[in-house]
């Protein structure tokens, strides 16, 4: 059974994610130790945020080991989304933030980067500011997603509710 409190450390009444960089990638990720405040004193919330941070780090380290292949851009995007979730924000693209987000949300996200340096700052900026290109969807995957959404559209509705024959 896995330790349910792995990588969790209480610091000044708040939980933080604390994890050593694996030896296999230490030459590529020079941080040595990853320390991220989880922004909560609630252990249950900390575990959820830790899981997202752990997944983001695992994806990042896997991408480092594969040599940063352009095919791995999707992994980078997924890692940024997971890291944003771990930091307590919803991932939104930079274009979306600029066009739609209130100024106080932008300031909050920028302030989250205070005290971060190097690789950690880069990856957290990608996450909280949406500064990573969105993954491109293949036409076949888009078609499948469209079909799935359409299938669920009329379930449990009467003909008069949908405005069309089912």
Local structure of residue 60 (DSSP, 8 states): H
Beta strands in the chain (DSSP E): 8-11, 14-20, 33-37
pLDDT tens-place string over residues 52-104: 888 778 877 777 776 655 456 667 777 888 888 888 888 887 778 888 888 89
Per-residue pLDDT at 109: 87
């Amino acid at each position: 059974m896995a330790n349910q409190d792995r990588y969790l450390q209480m610091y000044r009444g708040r939980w933080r994610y604390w994890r050593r960089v694996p030896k296999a990638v230490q030459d590529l990720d020079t941080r040595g130790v990853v320390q991220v405040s989880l922004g909560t004193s609630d252990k249950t919330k900390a575990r959820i945020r830790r899981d997202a941070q752990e997944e983001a780090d695992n994806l990042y380290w896997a991408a480092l080991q594969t040599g940063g292949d352009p095919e791995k851009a999707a992994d980078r995007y997924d890692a940024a989304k997971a890291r944003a979730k771990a930091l307590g924000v919803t991932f939104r693209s930079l274009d979306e933030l600029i066009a739609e987000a209130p100024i106080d949300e932008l300031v909050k996200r920028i302030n989250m980067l205070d005290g971060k340096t190097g690789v950690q700052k880069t990856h957290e900026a990608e996450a909280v500011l949406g500064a990573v290109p969105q993954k491109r969807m293949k036409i076949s995957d888009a078609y499948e997603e469209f079909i799935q959404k359409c299938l669920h559209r009329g379930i449990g509705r009467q003909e008069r509710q949908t405005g069309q024959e089912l």
